Structure 1
């Protein structure tokens, strides 16, 4: 999606290989089975948009040596070499990799968006993380981690649990949409947006950092953020005076009419329907009026020419 939108540069990190189980989502093709995912992704994406610059790394970011290089590329792998990247996107499927990205971003003070799909493939979420300002991934660990359960016991070898392409596409769309809002500075970037496909439920919230977070760099980022907020000049709230606009003339006899209130709707002749929360009635269909007792013109069998002559004679 970002490639189609013309993103300047993408750095891809993964160490898995393309399997037939991956054919039901993303853009992998059967003939790419056995290739590294980053290599296959680069090949396909370059065909979609050759103007995008790519860096691909086929290694496990959770090892010490690879982690140091991963940190270096976040710090210096921007569109201009030597500048940090604008945003890190996490699309991993295990807790260890998420914690690795969380540690790197906390240490560097790098904004990133975490995303994921549930094991049953019918729900997912995205979470925008600003180190020190919002909750990092370690501030509120998943239940399986909080209860000290080995996550490896939940994943079966050779089975791709979250494999519903529709859910993956919806969550990926949320991820890219908020990435564009962040990079292009339009709209509001959501701090947390969930998706439950069974109930079509989209919870949203803001997660604040945990002062007792286990990540030391998160605590340091929280302290730095609090100092930054304390040094900001306080802005006094002032009430904006609304000036009444007065026109000397009104050639077209334009009038401003207030919106229909609930009391006015109750007094209306038409029936007011019961709507769900968030919707309101703008107007009602007026009830049919009864025939009045005023005199009406009788029909006539005269032709149009005869009627016109009568008119001319008046």
Structure 2
């Protein structure tokens, strides 16, 4: 009779075989779908025809919202965390025609993820980055994709993560244009924060609460705005291992609606930042219970625990000091001079002299230079 350990080993072998079968089937489906793909488009067109996948996007240029929408194809965005927010974010950017997407995640697709958007049941068992790439490439073959199936918080992987965001741009050897944090834990956020502070890389952080009814996005410019370590959550400030806070059998809630809203707000600000239109929010929250959207801006903390953050702050101060000052010329107001007083105040009566005389009584004889403030109306006889 087989022992428990032998049975567990056999279960793992069967699970691996199942994953391989699913991957093989997914590859076959992908090959079949590629036969039905539209050809790649070299240049975006604003031609209004049903066969143009960019006509609605290029309309933003025609309507004066965006000056040069085609520039979207020159940017590279790295998405860390391809879960409920990250997968939808990646899909939106793909549909918008972003030049290149680099996806980082080490998790697998599970049936428990089906309450969210994007992933499908037949992808269960595949790595999230692999499943995402298959779907996204089918949506828009014009976008370049790069995937990394690993945890960025380990020492070796963190070094590779730094290398890819430094040199993995659309033009190999150049840095990415923006990093999006769509992770669900503080450890990964701090890893991204550390990398971006050291490299001076601008990034956007996002998150959804454990009760699934609130979320936020935050633009972080090293040295200029508060980094994630400048005003860290209590769990980070107290140096607590977040793994000890999780309870067995209890998982965080998840709503596709909240995650969709947060992803939409995130991508909207990504487009505004990259294409330079509108106002990019430094921090924008979302409370689903009251449909409340709080905003704020947080300055960098001079006593931040991150050494590279403090270095970036000094660099920012130097750049600001070297920037030419814009002189504001104040126009001198024309001095008002009034013959009666220094304040230019004049009281004007709305009653004419004739009306005043008719309504007034007899004016007494007074010495020269003295006048009455008011007169007593003449008595009116009642018939």
Residue among 270, 294, 303 paired with 1:203: 294
Superposition CA RMSD, Å: 1.5
Highest CA radius of gyration, 1 or 2? 2
Displacement of 1:233 in angstroms is 1.5
- Aligned match of 2:171: 80
In 1, the alpha carbon distance for the partners of 2:247 and 2:118 equals: 24
In 2, the alpha carbon distance for the partners of 1:70 and 1:148 equals: 24
Displacement of 1:158 in angstroms is 6.6
Residue among 132, 147, 165 paired with 2:223: 132
* Structure 2 gaps, min length 5: 1-91, 333-383
Secondary structure at the aligned position of 2:93 is classed as coil
Residue among 225, 244, 255 paired with 2:316: 225
In 2, the alpha carbon distance for the partners of 1:240 and 1:196 equals: 45
1:61 equivalent to 2:162? Answer no
- Aligned match of 2:101: 10
Superposed, 1:41-52 pairs within 5 Å as 41-52=132-143
1:91 equivalent to 2:182? Answer yes
Residue among 229, 241, 249 paired with 1:150: 241
Give deviations 1:200-223, integer Å, cap 9, x for gaps. Answer: 111101010011111000000000
Superposed, 1:1-314 pairs within 5 Å as 1-156=92-247, 160-239=251-330
Displacement of 1:159 in angstroms is 5.2
- Choose between structure 1 and 2: higher helix proportion: 2
Displacement of 1:117 in angstroms is 0.3
Give deviations 1:156-185, integer Å, cap 9, x for gaps. Answer: 467541411100000000100000001111
In 1, the alpha carbon distance for the partners of 2:158 and 2:115 equals: 31
In 2, the alpha carbon distance for the partners of 1:160 and 1:238 equals: 60
Give deviations 1:38-60, integer Å, cap 9, x for gaps. Answer: 00000010111111100000011
Displacement of 1:34 in angstroms is 0.7
Secondary structure at the aligned position of 2:95 is classed as coil
In 2, the alpha carbon distance for the partners of 1:157 and 1:82 equals: 45
Give deviations 1:230-255, integer Å, cap 9, x for gaps. Answer: 111111112479xxxxxxxxxxxxxx
Give deviations 1:10-51, integer Å, cap 9, x for gaps. Answer: 000000011111111131111111100000000010111111
Report the CA distance shift for 1:38/1:53 in structure 2 as closer, same or farther (over 3 A): same
In 1, the alpha carbon distance for the partners of 2:271 and 2:116 equals: 22
User: Does structure 2 retain, via aligned residues, the 8 Å contact 1:62–1:97?
Assistant: yes
In 2, the alpha carbon distance for the partners of 1:112 and 1:15 equals: 20
User: Does structure 2 retain, via aligned residues, the 8 Å contact 1:117–1:162?
Assistant: no
User: Does structure 2 retain, via aligned residues, the 8 Å contact 1:21–1:160?
Assistant: no
Report the CA distance shift for 1:233/1:146 in structure 2 as closer, same or farther (over 3 A): same
The count of residues paired between Structure 1 and Structure 2 equals: 241
User: Does structure 2 retain, via aligned residues, the 8 Å contact 1:133–1:225?
Assistant: yes
In 2, the alpha carbon distance for the partners of 1:110 and 1:222 equals: 13
* Structure 1 gaps, min length 5: 242-314
In 2, the alpha carbon distance for the partners of 1:198 and 1:143 equals: 24
Secondary structure at the aligned position of 1:35 is classed as coil
